[in-house]
């Protein structure tokens, strides 16, 4: 969006000649009485008054000049809600009237998504908002960003020369405050947990993203309907690990409807149990998205293997998104069969089959997923078979989906895939 704010709204108001004449007759009557503000006197003289140039133009042309004051309040507020926070802040600097008028909207827009790096300062700010009646209903989502301990520290932990307690973060006083405050945000039901590398001396560093999930949600009264797990740490150590289990918080995922797992690098998400733990206890899950790494060295993507081997309780998946994964055709067909009765949206992006045929997969989609309403496919290929055979293809509606799948099967046949 451009830095400048353009509010070129013109409201047209037409005045008929009869209205103008009747108005003139009324004001020019000899029987008019003097006004209390002294604009007329008994001797017929009139004192000068300030006039608004916009009023003169209105009388002459029947049109109002572009002016924020001319916009009805409900329409003005409706328009302002579409502004980005940066542009809304500039608009608030126009006048005191607009500042006061946009104050509730400003709070709503800026506080819609909360963000914390798990520092004591950030968590204290969240505590203030959670315990303020004017702000505790505004947040809709919260992004929790945790910092990785670093490769050197991780190596010392793996070698046994440095102790590491997976539950230490959960016991921190500020984390106890955060878990309590998360439950006070009555409309905050979407959470995003990210593990990143950071060279700064941040507080509360962790080794695994599992530890962050446990620290943030175990013993919390928050209602989680959408969750994103995003690990950006390349943790190539062979150590498998499990989520802490001192507190059973399986009920936390009973209301979960959408789960998105993003593993940008081969990292600890696929070596831990956070994903399995959630899938095993989320019977109401409707939207599932798995994004792996195209740096899997030609082997089966670990994050897909982790999810595939989980005894998920979800039986009503409506949206399935798979991206940047190396998979076996039999595993993919197994997933499609598992959710065939309820699947409405299917998105396959940058998938590489390690074995099997794309022709069989596409035919399986036609035969099993008969309720599909939208299909998107891009960059589909066979391992060690050169370029992809499908790029940027989307279809909606049963008939369009059928013809798209038929055309993709024909192209796969020509390429021997």
Listing DSSP states for 259-311 in one string gives: EEEEESSS-TTTTSSHHHHHHHT-TT--EEEEE--S-STTSPPHHHHHHHTS-
**pLDDT at residue 64 is higher than 70:** no
Closest to 208 (Cα-Cα) out of 260, 125, 148, 257: 148
Indicate the pLDDT class of residue 97, thresholds 50, 70 and 90: confident
Residue 179's pLDDT is 94
Alpha-carbon span 110 to 78, nearest angstrom = 16
Structure tokens at 20: 């103008």
Residue 95's pLDDT is 81
**pLDDT at residue 298 is higher than 80:** no
C-alpha distances out from residue 131 to 176, 223, 224, Å = 15, 17, 20
Closest to 126 (Cα-Cα) out of 171, 84, 85, 185: 185
Rounded to 10 degrees, the C-alpha dihedral 327/330/336/338 comes to: -120
Alpha-carbon span 353 to 401, nearest angstrom = 21
**pLDDT at residue 90 is higher than 50:** yes
Q: What is the pLDDT of residues 193-232, one digit of tens each?
A: 998 887 566 678 888 889 999 999 999 999 999 999 988 7
Q: Report domain extents, the chain.
A: 53-110, 112-414
Q: How far apart are the first and last CA of the chain?
A: 44
Query: Please, are residues 172 and 212 in contact by the beta-carbon 8 Å criterion?
Result: no
Indicate the pLDDT class of residue 301, thresholds 50, 70 and 90: confident
User: In the chain, how long is the greatest CA-to-CA distance?
Assistant: 104
Residue 284's pLDDT is 94
**pLDDT at residue 103 is higher than 70:** yes
Residue 236's pLDDT is 55
**Cα within 13 Å of Cα(115), Cβ side:** 2
**pLDDT at residue 117 is higher than 70:** yes
What's the whole-number mean pLDDT along residues 261-270? 71
Alpha-carbon span 377 to 396, nearest angstrom = 12
Closest to 109 (Cα-Cα) out of 82, 142, 128: 82
Q: Which CATH number fits domain 112-414: 3.30.450, 1.10.3470, 3.40.50, 3.80.10?
A: 3.80.10
Query: Please, are residues 356 and 330 in contact by the beta-carbon 8 Å criterion?
Result: yes
Query: Please, are residues 371 and 347 in contact by the beta-carbon 8 Å criterion?
Result: no
**pLDDT at residue 256 is higher than 90:** yes
CA 307 to mean position of chain CA atoms = 23
Residue 383's pLDDT is 78
**Cα within 13 Å of Cα(212), Cβ side:** 30
**pLDDT at residue 26 is higher than 50:** no
% of residues, the chain, pLDDT over 70: 76
Alpha-carbon span 254 to 349, nearest angstrom = 29
Residues 6+ apart with CB under 8 A from 317: 285, 286, 287, 288, 338, 339, 342, 343
In which residue are the tokens 């059928």 written?
402
Query: Please, are residues 159 and 104 in contact by the beta-carbon 8 Å criterion?
Result: no
Among 123-127, 128-132, 224-228, top mean pLDDT goes to 224-228
* Residue 139 β-bridge partners: none
Phi and psi at residue 327, to the nearest 5° = -140, 165
Alpha-carbon span 406 to 390, nearest angstrom = 12
**pLDDT at residue 371 is higher than 60:** yes
**pLDDT at residue 385 is higher than 70:** no
- Three-class DSSP category at 324: strand
Structure tokens at 235: 């943790």
CA 327 to mean position of chain CA atoms = 27
């Amino acid at each position: 969006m451009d830095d400048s704010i353009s509010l070129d709204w013109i409201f047209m108001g037409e005045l008929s000649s009869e209205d103008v004449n009747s108005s003139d007759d009324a004001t020019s009557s000899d029987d008019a009485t003097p006004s209390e503000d002294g604009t007329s006197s008994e001797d017929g003289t009139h004192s000068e008054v300030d006039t608004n140039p916009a009023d003169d133009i209105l009388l002459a042309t029947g049109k109002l000049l572009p002016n924020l004051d001319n916009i009805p309040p409900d329409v003005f507020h409706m328009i302002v809600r579409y502004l980005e926070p940066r542009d809304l802040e500039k608009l608030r600097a126009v006048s005191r009237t607009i500042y006061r008028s946009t104050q509730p909207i400003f709070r709503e827009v800026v506080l819609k998504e909360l963000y914390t790096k798990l520092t004591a300062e950030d968590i204290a700010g969240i505590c203030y908002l959670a315990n303020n009646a004017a702000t505790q209903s505004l947040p809709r989502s919260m992004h929790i960003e945790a910092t990785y301990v670093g490769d050197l520290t991780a190596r010392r932990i793996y070698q046994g020369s440095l102790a590491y307690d997976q539950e230490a973060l959960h016991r921190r006083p500020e984390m106890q405050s955060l878990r309590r405050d998360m439950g006070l945000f009555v409309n905050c039901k979407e959470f995003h947990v990210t593990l990143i590398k950071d060279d700064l001396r941040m507080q509360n560093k962790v080794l695994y993203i599992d530890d962050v999930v446990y620290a943030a949600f175990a013993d919390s009264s928050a209602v989680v309907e959408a969750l994103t797990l995003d690990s950006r740490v390349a943790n190539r150590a062979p150590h498998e690990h499990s989520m802490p289990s001192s507190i059973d918080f399986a009920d936390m995922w009973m209301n979960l409807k959408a789960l998105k797992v993003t593993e940008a690098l081969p990292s600890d998400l696929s070596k831990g149990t956070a994903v399995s733990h959630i899938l095993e206890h989320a019977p109401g899950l409707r939207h599932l998205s798995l994004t792996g790494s195209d740096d899997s060295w030609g082997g089966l993507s670990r994050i897909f293997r982790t999810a595939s081997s989980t005894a998920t309780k979800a039986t009503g998946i409506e949206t399935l998104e798979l991206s940047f994964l190396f998979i076996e055709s039999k595993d993919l067909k197994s997933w499609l069969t598992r959710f065939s009765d309820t699947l409405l949206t299917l998105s396959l992006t940058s998938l590489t089959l390690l074995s099997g045929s794309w022709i069989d997969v596409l035919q399986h989609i036609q035969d099993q997923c008969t309720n599909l309403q939208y299909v998107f496919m891009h960059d589909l290929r066979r391992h060690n078979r050169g370029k992809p055979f499908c790029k940027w293809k989307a279809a909606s509606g049963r008939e369009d989906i059928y013809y798209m799948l038929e055309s993709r099967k024909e192209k796969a046949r020509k390429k021997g895939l």
